[in-house]
Amino acid sequence: MKKLLTVLCALLFIAGCSAAPSPSASAEDKPARSGGNFTDQMKLAYRDDLDPEAGADSVERQGDHPDSPYFSTVDFYNAESTESLTILPHFQTMQQTSEWSCGVVSALLVLNYYDQLGEQTERTLAEMRSNGLTPEATDMESMITIFEQTGDQAYIISSSNNSGIQDGRTQGGSDVEAMLKNGRLFRADTLEELAAQINVDPQALQATVKAYNEMTKTHEDSQFGRTTFEPNSEIAEGPYYAYPCVPAAHITIGGLVVDYDTMQVVKENGEAIPYLFAAGEVLAGECGIDGSFAQGKALAKQIVHNVEKRDLN
């Protein structure tokens, strides 16, 4: 038995030696690779630099491997899908310009691919996060917020008589010059100039304002059914303002009905549902962008209910 094992080991050793690779060929002997794409064709232009001293952009292309067996042989940017491989053709990319904005840039690339990026940049998308420009990671909630607030862009148009601006501040107390500087507000002396700033057709903007002003006089809105107009609702003389905004959930009142003695959820007929309790915002449904109004409404209702039940004497 031992002799047999010895013979087998010897044969394996000899086979291994005979299969040993020959000395590596010189660089001149290696076949030239072709088909890759080392151009900047797939790169997006940088509009921001959140951190000039850091971010993957600071070392961009320094890690390129000209003899890579992968990217030097396949032009992924111009590749097309097959039955077994899904490719997003012509997907442009860029490197994040800070150590923390990888999630933001991921959203930016998706928006750009589907032609929904518009004038948004790495900075403006980061500002939409709950933590803003704080050098922290982007959580799932902030990613959802970014996608909800991009794509369909609208503007609130106002004029000197109804903008609400006084002493350089908006009705909410924001500094107008700061808003103009960071692109959160646009101002112009004419509607044509304002249209150029927000990249819309000047004739379309003028026609829209004209139609709206007619509605302020007749109090009949054939487009959206608006019924409330104020004496200063008309967009009159400049300067004119455009405030960028996006759709957001607001004032959708409704929710679970409960027995306020036990906080137990009840059916339409008033019968309590066993083991099901509810409190807080869910009682008022979604109400307000951040839920604060809904929570306050539910809390105030419960306080009043308890006060009514209590003998304060």
pLDDT at residue 75, as a whole number: 82
pLDDT at residue 26, as a whole number: 44
Q: How many CB atoms are closer than 10 A to CB 214?
A: 13
pLDDT at residue 247, as a whole number: 56
pLDDT digits (tens, 9 = 90+) for 2-45: 344 343 333 333 333 433 344 444 444 444 445 677 788 888 88
Report how far residue 305's alpha carbon sits from residue 313's, in angstroms, rounded to the nearest whole number: 17
Report how far residue 232's alpha carbon sits from residue 37's, in angstroms, rounded to the nearest whole number: 59
Phi, psi dihedrals of residue 155, rounded to the nearest 5°: -135, 135
pLDDT at residue 9, as a whole number: 38
pLDDT at residue 196, as a whole number: 95
Q: How many CB atoms are closer than 10 A to CB 97?
A: 24
pLDDT digits (tens, 9 = 90+) for 223-235: 777 878 899 999 9
pLDDT at residue 297, as a whole number: 59
pLDDT at residue 186, as a whole number: 95
Record the pTM: 0.41
Task: Using 70 as the pLDDT threshold, list the residues of the chain that sit under it.
Answer: 1-35, 69-72, 151-152, 246-254, 281, 284-313
Label each residue of the chain as H, E or C. Answer: CHHHHHHHHHHHHHHHHHCCCCCCCCCCCCCCCCCCCCCCCCECCCCCCCCCCCCHHHHCCCCCCCCCCCCCCCCHHHCCCCCCCCCCCCCCECCCCCCCCHHHHHHHHHHHHCCCCCCCCHHHHHHCCCCCCCCCCCCHHHHHHHHHCCCCCEEEEECCCCCCCECCECCCCCEHHHHHHCCCCEEECCHHHHHHHCCCCHHHHHHHHHHHHHHHHHCCCCCCCCCCCCCCCCCCCCCEEEEEECCCCCCCCCCCCEECCCCEEECCCCCEEEEEECCHHHHCCCCCCCCHHHHHHHHHHHHHHHHHHCCCC
Report how far residue 208's alpha carbon sits from residue 105's, in angstroms, rounded to the nearest whole number: 35
